Amino acid sequence: MSDQTLTDRSPDSDRAGGSAAFSPLYQQIKALLLQGLDRGEWKPGEAIPSELELAARFQVSQGTVRKAIDELAAENLLLRRQGKGTFVATHHEAKVRFRFLRLTPDDATPAVSGSRILDVRRLKAPADVAALLELRSGETVVNLRRVLSFDDSPTILDDIWLPGAPFKGLTAELLEASRSPLYALFESEYGVSMVRAEEKIKAVAADAAQAELLAVEVGHPLLQVERISFTYGDRPMELRRGAYLTERFHYRNSLN
């Protein structure tokens, strides 16, 4: 957060000029904060500077900084805590986990969960994966497959693809040693913060491989969830293809 290149707002500049694209000050502040987050100036879980300090730094009023932070907080990139400060969102919290895992038990019984890694491989990205992750075809990716169980019954089959460069040194051992959720691991081990995701959902019939791993017959209906997760600059950083068993679980969603 060194150089601050706010658009000149004197009467002769863009604001009064008319034709140039008009960008409010608070949007420029927001962009600067985003840059700071992206380059890791403040790490997940840490506090960013106070509103007054940022206002002084950017030479604007507290209200303008406030509006920028408001938007970032609404997007769940920042977390405000009255009396304490404003903090960078992190996946190292129980409540945040259900923001991305929408599968919920039909009855509210909390379930014991377990993860079993099937394999972790590095390979050249298949064309479809490369396209979705915005990689050049032939670039290295990490492919990770696992089974998630609840109360000892296998429920989720995940086929996860990650760009190779940011995830150097990701091994099965490392994954098995970690007890935190995957996105928390990505955050603390690789500095990759997942901020937003898009999902496409279908109902499909289980193929032979899926049927065996989930202990159902071939043809059994499965919820197929394809997710692309993004970091700060809307840069795709994970492709995840999941197959969910939905006998005792459902995918919940809110429409606003």
Partner DNA sequence: AAGTGGTCTAGACCACCGG
Partner DNA sequence: CGGTGGTCTAGACCACTTA
Q: State the residues that interact with DNA by CB under 7 A.
A: 9, 11, 15-16, 22, 24-27, 48, 50-53, 59-64, 66-67, 80-86
The DSSP H or E segment spanning 118 is strand 113-124
* CB-CB contact of 134 with 161 (8 Å): no
The residue among 65 and 225 lying less far from DNA, judged by its C-beta, is: 65
The residue among 92 and 250 lying less far from a second copy, judged by its C-beta, is: 250
Q: Which does 15 bind (CB under 5 to 8 A by kind): DNA, a second copy, none?
A: DNA
* CB-CB contact of 7 with 49 (8 Å): no
> Phi first, then psi: what are they for 156, rounded to 5°?
-125, 135
Q: Which does 86 bind (CB under 5 to 8 A by kind): DNA, a second copy, none?
A: DNA
Q: Rule CB under 8 A: which residues touch a second copy?
A: 74-76, 99-100, 102, 196-205, 219-224, 227, 244, 246, 250-256
Cα gap 211→197, rounded to integer Å = 27
Q: Which does 168 bind (CB under 5 to 8 A by kind): DNA, a second copy, none?
A: none
Cα gap 25→29, rounded to integer Å = 6
**Minimum CB separation from DNA for residue 88, in Å?**
12
The residue among 4 and 104 lying less far from a second copy, judged by its C-beta, is: 104
- Pull the structure tokens for residue 169: 């040194």
**Amino acid (1-letter code) at residue 159:** D
The residue among 161 and 183 lying less far from a second copy, judged by its C-beta, is: 183
> Phi first, then psi: what are they for 53, rounded to 5°?
-65, -45
Cα gap 24→207, rounded to integer Å = 53
**Minimum CB separation from DNA for residue 212, in Å?**
50
Q: Which does 187 bind (CB under 5 to 8 A by kind): DNA, a second copy, none?
A: none
The residue among 12 and 217 lying less far from DNA, judged by its C-beta, is: 12
- Pull the structure tokens for residue 118: 């099937």
